[in-house]
Amino acid sequence: MDVARIMRVARWTIREYARVHGIMYQPAMAIREVAWHDDLEREPLPPGHEITWSAIVAGTCLDGIGYPL
């Protein structure tokens, strides 16, 4: 958790602080579902494809940043 690292405290300290002050935890945006079963014969996706890259970085500091070429 970035906030805990910046403040140099345990992430549970941040969660307890938020709970005491009524701040609701918002999970990272859900990754859209991919109907992989519809096309079992398709070629593998290339490195950095939008679907695979967003699944890897969801909820991290790289969320929303494109794949570095």
Q: Does residue 65 share a domain with residue 37?
A: yes
List the domain range (segments joined by +) for residue 35: 31-69
Tens of pLDDT, residues 56-67: 888 888 888 888
Q: Does residue 22 share a domain with residue 1?
A: yes
Residue 10 token pair: 């345990």
**What pTM was computed for the model?**
0.39
Q: Does residue 36 share a domain with residue 9?
A: no
3-class DSSP string for 2-65 = HHHHHHCCCHHHHHHHHHHCCCCCCCCCCCCCCCHHHCCCCCCCCCCCHHHHHHHHCCCCCCCC
Q: Does residue 60 share a domain with residue 35?
A: yes
Q: Does residue 35 share a domain with residue 21?
A: no
Q: Does residue 36 share a domain with residue 58?
A: yes
Tens of pLDDT, residues 9-40: 888 888 888 888 887 766 555 555 555 556 67
Q: Does residue 40 share a domain with residue 21?
A: no
